[in-house]
């Protein structure tokens, strides 16, 4: 399959380079966001008279067919697709012909991938916020249930003062409350529209970035095209928020592991949340708490990886950014 960007090239990519260059196996998860961004973009092109209404309708119908086929598992992406943007666009051209090529008018993969990631991350943050709010409701319920049950408060893992179990629960409530506030704050900064930044310097075509912002529920367009295509601050900010929240979960998991031990015997974790030993049948292991503790390392690693990727990149777009 000839690459959509291969106009000046006389030789095809080496097979090893194709595999090393491709991001399709990571970014195919964003196919819905990619199609949503494309529909908003071509709707704007139609309103501005850059494409005809008939062309706009054919493109949108083709994109919706592709969305349905991906959801039904009828489209399987390969390394030849390179990324989700080209994977969808090449199939659109196959489906509706050359009119499909007009979708890319006044757009680059540089601003397109930014749209996809912002839309995807916005959706994911909403899901995480819902989960955290549910967790908070459970904590409140338990804090109320045990508001008068006395336990030991520790400093330096030494007995310090008598407190209530409800008081302990509410300490974690405050941690997760701050997590919710941080993520909500991140949403505010991430929710700006990159479409129209193109490769790095915008376009001379008479596009309407405010319309695409409205169609995609962005607050407003981004203000500088060079910054737009090279910005990953919002991803880093999300990873910082996620790392702090995971740290809070890990601290709580640590408490549960200690409290569940024979030495403490403060709590008995339900059997359905534990595992046993193949050689020591008396044991009931707090594996869920330990796994929460362990998975924190993944999130910390993602944060450090992206910070390291970004630290040596000049303006504007660099292929390193694919690692986001």
**263-302 pLDDT, tens per residue?**
999 999 999 999 998 899 888 899 999 999 999 999 999 9
pLDDT band at residue 6 under the 50/70/90 scheme? low
What average pLDDT does the segment 71-87 reach? 96
* 42, 216 Cβ separation under 8 angstroms: no
What average pLDDT does the segment 18-33 reach? 95
For residue 1, the model assigns a pLDDT of: 53
Determine the straight-line distance between the first and last CA of the chain, rounded to whole angstroms. 26
- Percent of all residues in the chain with a pLDDT value above 70, rounded to a whole number: 97
User: Is the model's pLDDT at 231 over the cut of 80?
Assistant: yes
pLDDT band at residue 11 under the 50/70/90 scheme? confident
Half-sphere exposure of 276 (CA within 13 A, CB side): 7
User: Is the model's pLDDT at 5 over the cut of 60?
Assistant: no
For residue 8, the model assigns a pLDDT of: 66
pLDDT band at residue 16 under the 50/70/90 scheme? very high
Using the 8-state DSSP alphabet, how is residue 280 labeled? -
Query: What residues are annotated to the active site?
Result: 156, 277
- pLDDT, the chain, mean: 95
For residue 313, the model assigns a pLDDT of: 96
User: Is the model's pLDDT at 194 over the cut of 80?
Assistant: yes
pLDDT in tens, 154-169: 999 999 999 999 999 9
Structure pTM?
0.93
Residue ranges of domains in the chain, CATH in brackets? 15-105 (1.10.275.10), 110-323 (1.20.200.10)
What average pLDDT does the segment 106-125 reach? 97
* 114, 221 Cβ separation under 8 angstroms: no
For residue 12, the model assigns a pLDDT of: 82
Instruction: Give pairs for 299-306: CB < 8 Å, separation 24+.
Output: 299/239, 299/242, 299/243, 299/246, 300/243, 300/246, 302/239, 302/242, 303/236, 303/239, 303/240, 303/242, 303/243, 306/232, 306/235, 306/236, 306/239
């Amino acid at each position: 399959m000839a690459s959509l960007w291969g106009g000046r090239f006389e030789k095809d990519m080496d097979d090893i380079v194709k595999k090393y260059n491709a991001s399709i196996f990571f970014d195919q998860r964003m196919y819905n966001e990619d199609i949503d961004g494309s529909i908003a973009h071509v709707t704007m092109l139609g309103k501005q008279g850059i494409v005809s209404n008939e062309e706009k309708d054919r493109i949108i119908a083709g994109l919706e067919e592709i969305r349905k086929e991906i959801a039904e598992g009828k489209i399987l992406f390969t390394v030849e697709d390179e990324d989700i943007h080209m994977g969808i666009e090449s199939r659109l051209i196959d489906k509706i012909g050359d009119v499909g090529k007009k979708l890319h008018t006044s757009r680059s993969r540089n601003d397109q991938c930014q749209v996809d990631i912002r839309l995807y991350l916005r959706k994911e943050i909403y899901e995480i916020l819902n989960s955290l709010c549910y967790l908070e409701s459970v904590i409140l319920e338990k804090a109320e249930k045990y508001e008068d049950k006395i336990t030991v408060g520790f400093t330096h893992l030494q007995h310090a003062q008598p407190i209530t179990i409800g008081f302990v629960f509410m300490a974690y409530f405050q941690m997760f409350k701050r997590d919710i506030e941080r993520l909500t704050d991140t949403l505010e900064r991430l929710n700006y529209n990159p479409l129209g930044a193109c490769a790095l310097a915008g376009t001379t075509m008479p596009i309407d970035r405010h319309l695409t912002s409205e169609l995609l529920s962005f607050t407003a367009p981004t203000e500088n095209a060079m910054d737009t295509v090279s910005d990953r601050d919002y991803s880093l900010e999300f990873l910082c928020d996620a790392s702090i929240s995971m740290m809070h979960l890990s601290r709580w998991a640590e408490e549960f592991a200690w409290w569940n031990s024979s030495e403490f015997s403060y709590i008995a974790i339900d059997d359905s949340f534990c595992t046993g030993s193949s050689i020591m049948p008396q044991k009931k292991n707090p594996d869920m708490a330990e796994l929460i503790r362990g998975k924190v390392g993944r999130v910390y690693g993602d944060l450090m990886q992206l910070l390291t990727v970004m630290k040596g990149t000049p303006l504007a777009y660099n292929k390193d950014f694919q690692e986001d």
